[in-house]
Structure 1
Amino acid sequence: MKVRDIFKCKKMVGVSLLIFIFVIGLLAPGVSPHDPLEVNLSKRLLSPNFEYPFGTDHLGRCILSRIIYGIRVSVVYSVIIMLLTFVISLPIALFIGYFRGRLDYLIMRFIDVTLAIPDIILAITIVGVLGPSLFNMVMAILIVRWTNYVRFIRSLVIKTCEEDYIFSARMSGNSHFRIMRYYIFPVILQNLVVFGTLDMGKIVLLIAALSFLGLGTQPPTPEWGSMLHDATLYFQIAPFVMIFPGLALFLFMLACQLIGDQYSKHSVKEV
């Protein structure tokens, strides 16, 4: 098998896995075998069986159903956060990368200071100040991640502005807005797709980490990180309560990595 065929295979596996996860989350009410919030203490910590394929947790709730409904929190909110971050950071990065100057210097120095703090530490601090909730968790991740996007997009814009066709566009009398919209943005779009796809996995991991610490989604909302937190006390006697949510988190991150790795072969050359 040729190297190109291997990359195509990785891409198809990643895309298929990602689509499968999204479809399962979208059809959660129809495909989940049980109510994810239904408590049945008489069936607590049951091993995987025909009725409960992934077993039950410490409250007798179906683990498979909770994983399926957890897609709506972990995955859907990661997409929302990624899109909102692009909406916030793209205009800023285009402007400072195109015009440069003192404003660019001030913003980048602020971003350098922010990036010196690990994402999880900064997110924990923000949620700790605002209070644990799903909305505050989303706001914290937005505040943490937008600087990464601005720095990446700015580097793409600066690189693109050095191309000869940009000078030709300027000499032809095109406005700055038109150059940014029609000559720069389409060129960097593929790189943004790669970055966004890879970052979705990081965002899901950040959501899971905050929920694991009790700073994100609150019980009884099903979410992969909170499920891992609930499973810590029972892992030795019922390891499946932690294995299956962890596997769901791993598969989503793997899908994002496979897709991003396929396109990054081309985008690295362009950048």
Structure 2
Amino acid sequence: MSGIDPNMKHLWRHLPWVRRNRSRDASIKATADESTSLWVQSLHRLCKDPLAMIGLATLILLIMIAVFAPFLAPYDPDAIDISQRLQWPSEDHLLGTDKFGRDVLSRMIFGARLSLLMPAIIVVNSLAIGTTVGLLSGFKGGLVDSLLMRVVDIKSSFPGLLLTLAIIGMLGPGLFNAVIAMSISGWTGYARIIRGMTLSLREMEFVEAARTLGGSDGYILIKHILPNVISPVVLLATLNMAGAILSLAGLGFLGLGAQPPTAEWGAMLSDSQGLIFYAPYLMFIPGVAIMITVLAINLLGDGLRDAMDPKSGGMAEAMRG
């Protein structure tokens, strides 16, 4: 370009298609900057919510307990000592022992691993399926949209719990099968939300600009559409995490989830149901742990909702506008 006349350079910059391309580039960059700014603003609002911070701190504490379980547990969670069976909380066993003489505190600490990890896997699996279906349905439209939405309608016609029980009935009881069943049963909500937002976003200027510049469908979906639909989905996933914990614990209580001698809070409730009058602490302790975990997640979820609430001028308002 060094040999080109400066006047030609000046004319080149003002050609119509050059100006349009620069305008589209600026539009895409401005959209990305605005999305980042909105995330930062929402994070600041979240940090100012004391209840949300209590929920977050509680979750971090539970996660740390689960991660460092081998170092925190005073006993082997599966070690059986019949001579110590059904001991009430004492100095040697801070939370007592179960009907096999296993230390309840150790089993609670190790049980936090499965009781937190498995619901998280369920939510991630459901989110991945729902996001894929919603993005494809909303972006492609036409026949693809019709076919995928009919699948969603058929799936939604079955109650989630009954579908989960039916799948477990076919696969057999067990923690892994319960995770598969719940993952299959819980993705339609994500698909509907993401489809609706994608339908509105695909006609916006920054998407048209990216398409005009030669961006492929996959690039546009991942680079431009997905970042703009993820915030309400993150909120929904956070709230669904609490439901997944309760559902998985319920399946464990019914004997359809984790199987003995696996240390999992729902399974521990199931093991102790015949001892409620003789050793009530065996049901009280895992029940309280589940309650605290679900409460912490709900507090964090409410904080996220308030941070992204349209009335507070948050991310959801800007996205809708």
Q: Same fold (TM over 0.5)?
A: yes
State the shift of 1:268 in Å.
4.5
Cα distance, 1:243 vs structure 2 = 0.9
1:1-271 to 2 correspondence within 5 Å? 8-161=49-202, 163-170=204-211, 174-269=215-310, 270=316
Deviation at 1:223, TM superposition (A): 0.6
Alpha-carbon separation, structure 1, partners of 2:296 and 2:202 = 33
| Structure 2 CA distance for aligned equivalents of residues 92 and 9 of structure 1 | 36
Q: TM-score, normalised by structure 1?
A: 0.90
Unaligned runs of 5+ in 2: 1-44, 311-315
Matched pairs, number:
268
Distance 1:203 1:41, change over 3 A: same
Hey, what's the Cα distance between the residues in 2 that align with 1:67 and 1:155? 42
RMSD: 2.2
User: What is the TM-score of this pair, normalised by structure 2?
Assistant: 0.77
- Report if aligned partners of 2:46, 2:307 keep a CA contact under 8 Å in 1: no
Partners of 2:197 and 2:284 in 1: CA distance: 40
- Tell me the distance in 2 between the aligned counterparts of 1:63 and 1:116: 41
Q: Contact 2:167 / 2:181 at 8 angstroms: preserved in 1?
A: yes
User: CA-to-partner distance for each residue in 1:60-85, whole Å, 9 max, x for gaps?
Assistant: 21111111111121111222222233
SS of aligned partner of 1:90: helix
Residue identity matched to 2:255:
G
Q: Contact 1:7–1:262 at 8 Å: present in 2 too? A: no
- With 46-55 and 79-88 compared, the bigger mean Cα shift is at 79-88
- The change in CA–CA distance for 1:86 and 1:16 in structure 2 (over 3 A counts) is same
Identity of aligned residues (%): 37
- AA at the equivalent of 1:243: F
Contact residue 88 and residue 97 of structure 2 kept, 8 A: yes
Residue 191 of structure 1, CA deviation: 2.1
Query: Equivalents in 1 of 2:84, 2:199: separation in Å?
Result: 60
**SS of the residue 2:49 aligns to:** helix
